[in-house]
Amino acid sequence: MRTKLIFLTIALLLPLAVWSQERTHSQPIFDGKIVPKDRAYETFVSGDANNENHITLFHSIRFTADRSEFKRVTDLILEDANDAISKEMEIAQGNLTYALLVLPSSGTLNRFLGFQAKPSGQDGECSAIVVYIEGFTTINNLKKNYFTGK
């Protein structure tokens, strides 16, 4: 009987563990906990809105960050990079300026995280964008569909 209860408790908690893995280390960025949302430009697309590209979820957030905020953002991106199946990254003077990560899949959905830093034109500030994508597409298809050949 005790064994049954233990297995049932595990069965109850296991789905919570699965659910928590679907989140990324970068989630606080999207939650506005690094740069508040009133200073951010956020885009969210889900469902069949972008069915033709096989993207089921698109979530991006753009913001301008000071050095401290930028460091916190890139630290979180680098944590996700540690879990990534594949990664493309650019580092300048020890600072992350670009990342394209293929994250572990969630069920049948592929997951990707992108990061890009840009000059803001303001001293002591840098613009950045973080993008999270879920879908049945692949990284190669995304590149083929969106690479403009610059």
CB 12 → other proteins: shortest distance, Å?
4
| d(C-alpha 150, C-alpha 144), whole Å | 13
| d(C-alpha 145, C-alpha 128), whole Å | 22
Map residues 76-115 to x or -, x wherever contact with other proteins holds by CB under 8 A: ------------x-x-xxxx-xx-x-----xxxx----x-
- The candidate with the shortest Cα–Cα distance to 128, out of 88, 80, 93, 76, is 76
Q: Of 26, 103, 126, 132, which lies in the binding site for other proteins, with binding defined by CB under 8 A?
A: 126
Q: Which residue has the tokens 């803001």?
A: 120
Do the beta carbons of residue 98 and residue 90 sit within 8 Å? yes
Residues 1-30 binding other proteins (CB under 8 A) are: 1, 4-5, 8-9, 11-12, 14-16, 18-19, 22
| d(C-alpha 95, C-alpha 105), whole Å | 27
Residues in the site for other proteins, rule: CB under 8 A? 1, 4-5, 8-9, 11-12, 14-16, 18-19, 22, 37-50, 56-58, 60, 62, 67, 70, 88, 90, 92-95, 97-98, 100, 106-109, 114, 116-119, 124-126, 129, 131, 134-136, 142-143, 145-148, 150
